Structure 1
Amino acid sequence: MRFGQCISLLAIVISLYILWQIRQIILIVFASVTLATVLNQLVIFLQRFRIKRSIAIFISITLVGLILGGFSALILPRITQQLQQFSYLMPMALERIRLWNDWLLRVIPNNVLENIRDLRYLTQNLEVWLNQILNNFFFLLTRSLNVILGLLFFVALTIMFMANTSSYRRGFILLFPAFYRQRVDEIMNKCAYSLVGWIKGTLITMLFIAVASYIGLIIFQVPLPLVNALLAGFLEFIPNIGPTLSAIPPVILALGDEPWKAVFIVLWYVAIQQLESFVVLPLAMRSQVSLLPAVTLLSIVIFGSIFGFLGVFLAVPLVIVLQVWIQEVLVKDVLNKWDN
């Protein structure tokens, strides 16, 4: 290997190492670009009314801030109150489940009990899970400053990308050979179209799941309906895994109240998920790149292991962008034009 090749290989290794060390920052940048792409559609809409871009950006950001602020002012006090009740009711629900478990262990014959030995550890595992959450609560509070700084960094980047979108876009396109730059511009347009369609569809499905969950929790009189409904809507952002996780707290609370409620809550959550999958989602995701369920699940696991919670949260938009680039570059521009 020549000296120049050694230097090139060393430069690649160092670059990959640096990228790995700043992977969380890169993911925040990607999230900022995604949000800026979505908000830019609102800016473009406002510009149709002959509003200057700078003023349109200010209006867009102010509008989003007012919506979030109004939502927080109306909902946050109730969420805080119900979260306090949650910390009080959950240990009581687990204690009641433990008493039922002990009763079952006394009633079930020993020969049957040997085949379901794991039942003995049901409440113990639930208690360990709850204790871990409560013990980590203080740790989460101590890291709140880092979270706030990360959010400020995210918002600042988003505003910067929106303020001068064309310059950042041209700078990225210049990284490619001159003959391919027009094609890169087309691919970026397709990525933006897919991301905007995915965001719109996801917001619609999240709203549907939250409202439907709230209605079911009210009907069956499960404690803390607002918190559980908002949790279900928020976790809908994470496909496959999120809906399952969102059903755990209301089921535990229902078991602590009346066992029959837990059965109906599970059936209700399954029903609304089926309705969302076969009716709401196809209508909301018309402009989204179709993703196979296995690909989505694998992406959540892979990006979650690499980037942590932020990777799980952004796994789907990352896969959408990667799929567009693979389809356009690898499939259309390389493999479909491959000559034997």
Structure 2
Amino acid sequence: MKFGQWLGLVSLLASLVLLWSLRQSMLNLFGALVLAMGLCTLTGSVRERLNCSRALALLLSIGLIGTILAILLIAVVPLFVDQFLHLLIQVPHAGAFVLDLLRNAIEESSSVFNGKNVGSLTWLKELRIDYVAAGNALASSLIKFAEEAGSGIVQLLFVIALSLMVAVQPNAYREVGIQLIPSFYRRRFRQVLVQCGNSLSAWMVGVLISSICVSALSAIGLSLLGVKLVAANALLAGLLNIIPNIGPTLSTVFPMSVAVFDGPWKSLAVLLLYIGIQNLESYIITPAVMHKQLKLLPGLTLTAQLVFTVIFGPLGLLLALPLAVCIQVLVREVLISDILDPIGHKNVEC
């Protein structure tokens, strides 16, 4: 290899190392772009319906979001926090209750088949878990999480501020990014970015509608079953619905923990309710509201969650799906259409 080639290779490796060290900042930047895209989508809808200028539509959109957040902070968040704390207290007690039920069921089954004076289940009777210590450990973990949340709040403020800046002048920021692309590919890459933006907009609208439907159905179903702490469980179901595969599974833990005290049948009924809601969401609600969105295979979605969680941490899990949406557009349009299979496509040169 010549000196120039070695220099280029070293520069490439140095760039990769730099990007790896800045991966959290890059993820925060991507999160800001996702929020900006959502705000731009809402602004476009307001502008289309009211036939007003973009500046006025943007102000109305920010005002609408601020009003909704104020209502949530005043009316919903205190109730949610109170009920969520009760949920956290119920989980270890529910575990003890379930363990007692298992002990009794195993003892009765053993007495039926082996006689009542077997004495071989003394280990089961002596099995005890210090749920007070488990609760204290959970509380200490929550305190540690709260202490570490300070840096997260600073990052969140940065993401919100950056998203507002991008939403004010989205075309200007997009053109700055396009200038980093070689001149012969800029026109084509501009089209690819537009497709990424449209896919992200469709994904956000679809997830919002889907989460609202899941939250409403959970509230109705839990109310009919007579399960306590309906507001916290319904909000958790809607929020965790943003995280596919993993979120819906986690959302069943808390309502089942509350329902198990009223009887195992009610806990089973809650499980069946959530399975029904998730199937309804997966096969009816999501296809209906996301018919224009990219179709992501469940296996690819789960793989993206695993990979991005390992690389970026919990925030990577939250942003795994929008990252997968953008990557799929880039792979389809750039790698496949323009590089691997350019036949039938227009020349990308300006």
Query: TM-score over 0.5 for the alignment?
Result: yes
Rounded Cα–Cα distance in structure 2 between residues aligned with 1:125 and 1:209: 35
Q: SS of the residue aligned with 1:109?
A: helix
Give me the whole-angstrom Cα distance separating, in 1, the residues matched to 2:275 and 2:127.
Answer: 23
Q: Distance in 1 between matches of 2:18 and 2:111?
A: 59
Q: Which amino acid aligns with 1:293?
A: P
Task: Tell me how far apart the structure 1 counterparts of residues 279 and 105 of structure 2 sit (CA, whole Å).
Answer: 33
Could you tell me which residue of structure 1 aligns to residue 291 of structure 2? 286
Q: Which residue number corresponds to residue 74 of structure 1? A: 75
Q: How far did residue 233 of structure 1 move?
A: 0.8
List runs of 5+ in structure 1 lacking aligned partners.
114-118
Contact 1:206-1:237 within 8 A present in 2 as well:
yes
1:109 shift after superposition:
2.2
Change over 3 Å in CA distance of 1:121–1:135 after alignment to 2: farther
Structure 1 CA distance for aligned equivalents of residues 128 and 113 of structure 2: 19
Is contact 1:209-1:233 (8 Å) kept? yes
Is 1:20 equivalent to 2:20 in the alignment? yes
Q: What TM-score do you get using the length of structure 2 for normalisation?
A: 0.87
**Match of residue 116 from structure 1:** none
Partner of 1:152: 157
- Where 2:310 maps in the other structure, the secondary structure is helix
CA distance in 2, matches of 1:270, 1:259: 17
Contact 1:101 1:120 in 2 (8 A): no
**Following superposition of structure 1 onto structure 2, how do residues 1-340 of structure 1 map, counting pairs within 5 Å?**
1-47=1-47, 51-109=52-110, 132-337=137-342
CA distance in 2, matches of 1:221, 1:74: 23
- Contact 1:92–1:256 at 8 Å: present in 2 too? no
Higher deviation after alignment, 94-103 or 158-167: 94-103
2:67 and 2:38 map into 1 onto residues whose CA distance is 17
SS of the residue corresponding to residue 24 of structure 2 reads helix
Amino acid at match of 2:241: E
CA RMSD in angstroms comes to 2.8
2-structure distance, mates of 1:296, 1:123: 40
Moved over 3 A (4+): 44-56, 110-113, 119-133
What is the CA distance between 1:164 and its match in structure 2? 2.0
Report the CA distance between 1:332 and its aligned residue. Answer: 1.5
Shift of 1:299: 0.7
Cα displacement (A) at 1:311: 0.7
- Asked which structure has the greater CA Rg, the reply is 2
- Aligned-partner SS, 1:222: coil
Structure 2: gaps (5+ residues): 115-123, 345-350
Within 2, Cα distance between the matches of 1:14 and 1:122? 56
CA contact (8 A) 2:90 2:257 kept: no
Distance 1:121 1:3, change over 3 A: farther
CA distance, structure 2, for counterparts of residue 298 and residue 111 of structure 1:
47
- Opposite residue 79 of structure 1, the aligned amino acid is F
- CA deviations on 1:80-116 (whole Å, 9 max, x unpaired) are 2212322333333223223223323433329999xxx
Relative to structure 1, the CA distance from residue 279 to residue 112 in structure 2 (aligned partners, 3 Å threshold; closer, same or farther) is farther
Q: Secondary structure at the match of 2:243?
A: coil
Instruction: Please tell me the residue identity of whatever aligns with 1:179.
Output: F
Amino acid at match of 2:29: V
Q: Work out whether residues 93 and 257 of structure 1, in 8 Å CA contact, stay in contact via their aligned partners in 2.
A: no
* Percent sequence identity over aligned pairs: 34
Q: 1:121 to 1:62 in 2, by over 3 A?
A: farther
Question: TM-score w.r.t. structure 1 length?
Answer: 0.89
Residue type of the partner of 1:210? S
| Pairwise CA distance, 1:27 | 0.8
Contact 1:94 1:123 in 2 (8 A): no
Query: Is contact 1:36-1:162 (8 Å) kept?
Result: yes
Give the Å deviation of 1:337: 2.4
Deviation at 1:286, TM superposition (A): 1.1
Distance 1:92 1:50, change over 3 A: closer
